[in-house]
């Protein structure tokens, strides 16, 4: 019989809380990737031979630890930049963490309800599959919060080799499976040879796949300049500071004579269209005289007073407009607006009257580049990014991570952006107001990067990319479907539907 986990209520709750609180150390900026194996393994142990309600409570404790540390930056956004009183900001952050922890609680309840017979193979099939299915649920329900997926922690390990084939969900599955196999050394010591063989097979396959070049850089290098304005968030939408902001970007533009393409961050231009039409025309003429193109983040105001978060192409051989499709709740639109707007400052942010653009939009064009644009939060949605690719040969994300302050948020955000480059096999341009601004190649490696919290210009080369990764054709839904089938297989094993000589 396998050993059972500690059953003490207080001790098991504390272990679950600590295991969750340590998991964010697996992600940027800490990058202790191996914790992403051990934390889920501890949770799998705590879910063994437990009732659904007990598993739900332990999952809840794990979730409070995970999101209480890993998503702590939400407090910075609420308190520091929306001027919400400390106590109210703390309450909103607490409720946010409780809701997210509820996903892990439900995951534990489902796992304990479905899996009542814990064998070597059943646990190996069921635990990673349920984990991935709940990551998928969390990326969709309530507009989604696809943050801290296990797979992101492995972007620089061999397991990252699965990303262009199975996406971040596939890497998460392999990560959780690695944790279960390591746990099996403790639970099933007589099967240590089989466990070792499975670990070697899993990681060896990942290494072999990682050596495959799914896409290829093509054509001549294109010089790109990223403008990092480092504008204080409290000044951004103040009409009296518009001239200052424009002068800051004019200074940065003066450093870009050698660049063919210039990228402004999200909503960097301080005057929305159509009010800024004349200024943008002047800028376009100047770009054309220098044989340059630019992609500029700015808001577009509708006749009804609402805003579209947008990117506009200007200059030589540049055309197209992109409108952000997936808006940030409370930051760009307010759910239940009639009931809660005006209650606290967080519900009345300057750009919270937003509307979303159409789901299907053409790439932006800048010379030979066909650009798949994503604004800020959109880059963390795996399937949204894949669906944006179309015939684009490069990825672009512009952001304003000033909202995160000096927290770990920008590092986590950048790590997720890197995963999109690896999944889709495209160079990624990432321009932000105060960092992290960088160029990432088609294998997810950072080519060039500038420090945070300074006004500067990053100039580096990018390449258009030819070909597609398998993920582009399979989609992220493939791994969710596969996880469902593996879970069904575990349930059939549990019911004894598969013939076998002995229990495994």
Instruction: Assign 3-class secondary structure to 327-375.
Output: CCECCCECCCHHHHCCCCHHHHCCCCCECCCCCCCCCEEECCEEEEEEE
Torsion angle of C-alpha atoms 354, 360, 366, 368, degrees rounded to 10:
160
Instruction: Give dist(CA 124, CA 128) in Å, integer.
Output: 7
**Candidates 61, 324, 415, 423; catalytic one:** 324
The closest alpha carbon to 458, from 242, 218, 264, belongs to 264
CA geometry: angle at 286 spanning 280 and 289, to 5°? 140
**Candidates 266, 332, 415, 423; catalytic one:** 266
- Residue 135 annotated to the active site: no
DSSP string, 86-152: HHHHHHHHHHHHHHHHHHHHHHHHHHHHH--S--HHHHHHHHHHHHHHHHHHHTTGGG----S-GGG
Instruction: Give dist(CA 206, CA 223) in Å, integer.
Output: 33
Helices (H) and strands (E) in the chain, counts: 15, 13
**Candidates 135, 376, 415, 423; catalytic one:** 376
- Residue 324 annotated to the active site: yes
The distance of Cα 134 from the centroid of its chain, to the nearest Å, equals 15
Whether residue 321 contacts residue 345, with contact meaning beta carbons closer than 8 Å, is answered with no
User: Which residues are identified as catalytic?
Assistant: 266, 324, 376
């Amino acid at each position: 019989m396998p050993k059972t986990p500690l059953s003490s209520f207080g001790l098991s709750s504390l272990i679950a809380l600590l295991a969750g609180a340590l998991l964010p150390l697996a992600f940027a900026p800490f990058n202790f990737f191996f914790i992403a194996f051990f934390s889920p393994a501890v949770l799998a142990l705590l879910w063994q031979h437990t009732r659904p309600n007990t598993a739900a409570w332990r999952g809840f404790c794990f979730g409070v630890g995970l999101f209480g540390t890993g998503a702590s930056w939400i407090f910075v956004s609420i308190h520091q930049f929306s001027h919400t009183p400390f106590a109210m900001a703390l309450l909103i952050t607490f409720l946010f963490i409780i809701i997210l922890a509820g996903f892990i609680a439900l995951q534990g309840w489902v796992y304990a309800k479905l899996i009542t017979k814990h064998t070597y193979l059943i646990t190996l099939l069921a635990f990673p599959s349920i984990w991935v299915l709940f990551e998928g649920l969390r990326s969709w329900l309530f507009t989604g919060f696809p943050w801290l997926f296990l797979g992101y922690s492995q972007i620089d390990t061999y397991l990252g080799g699965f990303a262009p084939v199975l996406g971040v969900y596939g890497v998460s599955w392999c990560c959780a499976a690695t944790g279960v196999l390591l746990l099996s050394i403790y639970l099933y010591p007589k099967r240590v040879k089989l466990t070792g063989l499975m670990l070697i097979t899993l990681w060896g396959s990942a290494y072999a796949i990682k050596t495959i070049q799914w896409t290829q850089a093509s054509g001549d290098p294109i010089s790109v300049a990223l403008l990092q304005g480092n504008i204080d968030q409290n000044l951004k939408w103040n009409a009296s500071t518009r001239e200052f902001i424009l002068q800051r970007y004019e200074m940065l533009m003066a450093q870009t004579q050698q660049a063919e393409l210039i990228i402004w961050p999200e909503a960097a231009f301080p005057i929305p269209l159509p009010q800024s039409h004349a200024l943008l025309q002047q800028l376009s003429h100047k770009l054309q005289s220098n044989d340059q193109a630019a992609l500029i983040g700015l808001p577009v105001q509708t006749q009804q007073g609402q805003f579209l978060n947008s990117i506009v192409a200007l200059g030589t051989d540049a055309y197209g407009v992109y409108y952000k499709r997936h808006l940030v709740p409370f930051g760009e639109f307010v759910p239940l607006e009639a009931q809660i707007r005006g209650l606290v400052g967080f519900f009345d942010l300057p750009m919270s009257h937003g509307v979303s653009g159409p789901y299907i939009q053409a790439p932006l064009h800048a010379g030979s580049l066909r650009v798949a644009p994503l604004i800020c939060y959109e880059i963390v949605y795996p399937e949204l990014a894949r669906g944006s690719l179309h015939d684009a040969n490069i990825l672009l994300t512009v952001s304003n991570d000033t909202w995160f302050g000096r927290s770990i948020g920008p590092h986590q955000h950048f790590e997720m952006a890197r995963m999109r480059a690896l999944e889709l096999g495209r160079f990624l341009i990432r321009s932000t107001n105060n960092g992290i601004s960088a160029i990432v190649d088609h294998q997810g490696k950072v080519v060039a990067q500038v420090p945070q919290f300074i006004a500067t210009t990053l100039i580096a080369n990018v390449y258009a990319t030819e070909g597609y990764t398998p993920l582009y054709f399979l989609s992220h839904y493939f791994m969710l479907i596969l996880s469902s089938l593996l879970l069904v297989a575990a349930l059939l094993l549990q019911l004894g539907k598969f013939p076998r000589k002995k229990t495994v």
